[in-house]
Amino acid sequence: MGEAIRAWADLENELWWYVAAILGVDQFRARIVVASIPGIRAKRDFVTRLAETYLDPELLPRFRPFMERMKGLGRTRNLLAHTTMHVNVEGKENLAFADVFSDEMDGGLDFEARPIPLNDLRVLVRALEALRGELIQFFLECNGHILKDARIHREEAEAKQRAAEKSP
């Protein structure tokens, strides 16, 4: 479980690289920005918005799935990090207990047990490490593909250019 949490922290840490590159600031400033944003969802959304605004549109179809995978893996990470865990109690498999509202409890708060087999934890660690590696590789490929002007300004300029080409 510790390996999974560490792998998640490593993955989350990579986001400042994108912030630094897209905003054109040094890594120290980028790390301050990312560390100041509470919660991974907000950090991921911030990096996604920056990429959608400044990254070469040809790279966006490759970038978006990275953020979707991060979102999906984050659900499992949150289960591990924010629920009560019972590890191998009486020889049974690991269980995570999440709070749920239950009809059996007449709408009250109850626990829902979810098995967390050791192999699933290993698969999660490998998936997090793979995504981290792919994000680093993609970051290197972004060099020279971060545009100076925001997408809205590029689209306006392109529309004006097309209009000028159509007029006699």
**Does residue 129 lie in a domain region?**
yes
**Does residue 61 lie in a domain region?**
yes
Is 0.85 topped by the overall pTM?
no
For 67-123, how does the pLDDT look when each residue is reduced to its tens digit (9 = 90+)? 999 999 998 888 787 777 666 766 667 777 777 777 776 767 777 777 777 788 899
Number of domains in the chain: 1
Instruction: State the DSSP string of 58-85.
Output: TTHHHHHHHHHHHHHHHHHHHHHHHSEE
For 146-165, how does the pLDDT look when each residue is reduced to its tens digit (9 = 90+)? 998 889 888 888 888 888 88
Kindly state the percentage of the chain with pLDDT values over 70: 93
**Does residue 88 lie in a domain region?**
no
**Does residue 103 lie in a domain region?**
no
Q: Which domain holds residue 156?
A: 2-83+117-166
**Does residue 104 lie in a domain region?**
no
**Does residue 111 lie in a domain region?**
no
Q: Which distant-in-sequence residues (6+ apart) come within 8 Å of 73 by Cβ?
A: 8, 11, 124, 127, 128, 131
Amino acid 89: pLDDT: 64
